[in-house]
Amino acid sequence: MNDCRTTFDNTLGRLLDARGADGLWPGRLSSSPLATAVSITALHIADPPRYARSIQNGINWLADHQNPDGGWGDTENRDPSNLSTTLLSLAALCAVDKTGQFSTQVQNARTWLKRELHYTHEADLAEAVYAAYGDDRTFAVPILTHCVLAGLFQDTPHPWRFVKPLPFELARLPRALYRAVNLTVVSYALPALIAVGQARFHFDPPKNAFLRAIRRAACGPTLELLKSLQPTNGGFLEAPPLTAFVAMSLASIGQVQHPVAQKALAFLIAVQRSDGSWPIDTTLSTWLTTHAVKILGKEHLTESDRRNLADALVQQQYQNVHPFTGAAPGGWGWSHLPGAVPDADDTAGALVALYQLDNQSNAARQAAAAGVTWLLNLQNSDGGVPTFCRGWGKLEFDRSCADLTAHALDAFRLWRDRLPPALQSRIDLAIAGALRFLYAHQRQDGAWLPLWFGNPYAEDKTNPVYGTARVLTVLSKMNRCAYPILDAMIPPAVDYLSRSQQPDGGWESIEQTALAITALISAKQTQSDAIDAGLKWLTEHTDQGKALTPAPIGLYFAKLWYTEDLYPVLFTLEALHAVHRLSHTH
């Protein structure tokens, strides 16, 4: 136990030291080869002389972070090479390097692609990209647009044939009709639908005169819509990749001076890091702060800290309809910055944290009532909770998912008795529906799959340890007498986590090991050898809290991996805090 206490103290110190001057936890997302590649190309297409320094710094960083096998992974930590990032990085090098400075990197990347895909023609590359994303064109079409604009397919006749058209004219329809018209992009991708769709139309208009006329007529109005969707700082979703796709598409069709393009380019320059790289997003400050609050509690936060954090969360709650997704007021996004949008996971996280900080004041209760109502209105008819929009469509990142549903359950559970009776009745129905959803989506082996987290080293890239641990932790807090269905879900989940433990005592990564320990303790597995072995692994592999190296378990939009420096810190502290509470209970 002394090792656990030392690890706890060291990890706690790391978390407290990571707090920003504003009292929030900004964290640090990994630098991203993919974000760097598309940002470089956007600046190059827009104005090479003007952005020469940023382009050169970016291309130097990109070349330095090529994997030994010739490909690129999604983080600076050289995670496994993948098709999308390798193709985009190769295209960026081809676009910018006119002197052959990076000829070795270019050749190594081509060798990787041929070895992995066995392709003989560029058409094979395009088919591989579409195959990787299935019916979802949210990322596949922008990737191939980037490749064509960068000149990667310049030796191929009519390269735009590789880029499937996007029906950008449909963006003019009322949001309520988006599901009915079966858009081939997800709810957060309207900027790409409009900008990339217009680029494809500009360079390769349809042969059908009627469709051509419709799309031509839609160009101006959809650009105005795009302008209304853009946040004040220019960054769509605070995401350099999405913002860069928009910027390069507009610049390529002679719209580089359009206000949307100029603001997007300014955003890219503003968020480039000093080493030349770009992250996939600016910060997850709200997400990280709510996690920190839940773990630190009253023990490690002063009354002044708690009051200031509660005020900050209340102020970050959206008070108006969000222009990007059309979401009603009441939700929270992943950061305090203008490009964030309200989503289920961050709203649930903010509600749970707010309950810890202040569940008595009128301001907190009003914010909670609005937030709970927002989640209730988001819940799908299947009982599950999606990320951004209720019932948008069938594409993966718009579906109900287990980890978000469990997070919403936790918020409902905490706030129910402190809200008006009318809301209590709605919460009761929502809890019943959510439990039915979780029961229906628990795998035969007892696991649940998360949506926004995965494992790049797993064959299917999923992370059932994360998903199961998160759901089990919430379900274990609920009253099993009031909800008998829990007895059918909790034991199989415990069994799954116990079986999936590695022989060395861990669950592959620091993050997964910590979450599994937390879940097993929550499920009252207090005499479990699995917990003891996991704690031993955790203390050894973190050097007692001094070496908390993040793993690429974060899964961003369109299957893009990331690491966050605070994830191993937060999750380790959460596990050790559970151990600490357990020892005091005994």
pLDDT of 324-365, one tens digit each? 878 899 999 999 999 999 999 999 999 999 999 998 899 999
User: Cα dist. 120→89, 94, 115, 420 in Å?
Assistant: 20, 19, 11, 65
- Whose CA is closest to 551, among 472, 467, 463, 473? 463
What's the whole-model pTM score?
A: 0.93
User: Does the pLDDT of residue 178 top 90, yes or no?
Assistant: no
Instruction: Give the per-residue pLDDT at 567.
Output: 98
CA 531 to CA 505: how far, in whole Å? 9
User: Does the pLDDT of residue 185 top 60, yes or no?
Assistant: no
- The residue-averaged pLDDT of 239-247 equals 97
Confidence grade of residue 405 (pLDDT, cut at 50, 70, 90): very high
User: Cα dist. 326→96, 377, 388 in Å?
Assistant: 38, 13, 10
Residues 6 or more apart whose CB falls under 8 angstroms from that of 289 comprise: 24, 25, 309, 312, 313, 353
Q: Are 88 and 113 in contact (CB under 8 A)?
A: no
Amino acid at 569: V
CATH code of 33-271, in short, is: 1.50.10.20
User: Does the pLDDT of residue 177 top 90, yes or no?
Assistant: no
Neighbours of 77 (CB within 10 A): 15
How much of the chain is helix, strand and coil, in % rounded to 5? Answer: 60, 5, 40
Confidence grade of residue 145 (pLDDT, cut at 50, 70, 90): very high
Burial 189-207 (b: 16+ CB within 10 A, else e): bbbbbbbbbbbbbbbebee
What percent of the chain has pLDDT above 70?
Answer: 95
3-state secondary structure 251-275: HHCCCCCCHHHHHHHHHHHHHCCCC
Amino acid at 435: L
Confidence grade of residue 521 (pLDDT, cut at 50, 70, 90): very high
Amino acid at 536: K
Q: How confident is the model over 417-433, as pLDDT tens digits? A: 999 999 999 999 999 99
Confidence grade of residue 397 (pLDDT, cut at 50, 70, 90): low
- The residue-averaged pLDDT of 234-245 equals 96
CA 321 to CA 76: how far, in whole Å? 37
Instruction: Give the per-residue pLDDT at 1.
Output: 63
Name the more confident of 144 and 1.
Answer: 144
Residue holding tokens 């009292």?
A: 23
CA 153 to CA 141: how far, in whole Å? 15
Q: 401 by DSSP, 3-state: which?
A: strand
Highest mean pLDDT among 178-192, 280-294, 517-531: 280-294
Q: Are 238 and 335 in contact (CB under 8 A)?
A: yes
- Whose CA is closest to 256, among 36, 42, 58? 42
Q: Is 514 exposed, middle or buried (0-12, 13-18, 19+ CB in 10 A)?
A: buried
Structure-token pair, residue 508:
């592959």
Instruction: Give the per-residue pLDDT at 4.
Output: 87
- The residue-averaged pLDDT of 470-484 equals 96
- The residue-averaged pLDDT of 114-125 equals 87
User: Cα dist. 514→322, 404, 407, 501, 518 in Å?
Assistant: 36, 19, 18, 12, 6
- The residue-averaged pLDDT of 515-542 equals 91
User: Does the pLDDT of residue 586 top 60, yes or no?
Assistant: no
Q: How confident is the model over 546-556, as pLDDT tens digits? A: 999 999 988 77
CA 34 to CA 277: how far, in whole Å? 10
Amino acid at 79: D
- Given CATH 1.50.10.20, say whether it is the number of domain 1-29+444-586: yes
- Residues belonging to the chain: 586
Q: 128 by DSSP, 3-state: which?
A: helix
Instruction: Give the per-residue pLDDT at 325.
Output: 79
User: Does the pLDDT of residue 395 top 80, yes or no?
Assistant: no
Query: Residue ranges per domain, the chain?
Result: 1-29+444-586, 33-271, 284-441
> Can 33-271 and 284-441 be said to share one CATH topology?
yes
Instruction: Give the per-residue pLDDT at 560.
Output: 85
Q: How confident is the model over 441-472, as pLDDT tens digits? A: 999 999 999 999 999 888 888 999 999 999 99
Q: How confident is the model over 77-105, as pLDDT tens digits? A: 878 999 999 999 999 999 999 899 999 99
Confidence grade of residue 184 (pLDDT, cut at 50, 70, 90): low
- Given CATH 2.30.30.30, say whether it is the number of domain 284-441: no
Instruction: Give the per-residue pLDDT at 123.
Output: 85
Q: Is 305 exposed, middle or buried (0-12, 13-18, 19+ CB in 10 A)?
A: middle
Helix 140-149 and helix 33-46: axis angle, to 10°?
50
Instruction: Give the per-residue pLDDT at 132.
Output: 87
Conformation bin of residue 100: beta by default, left when phi > 0, alpha when psi is -120 to 50: left
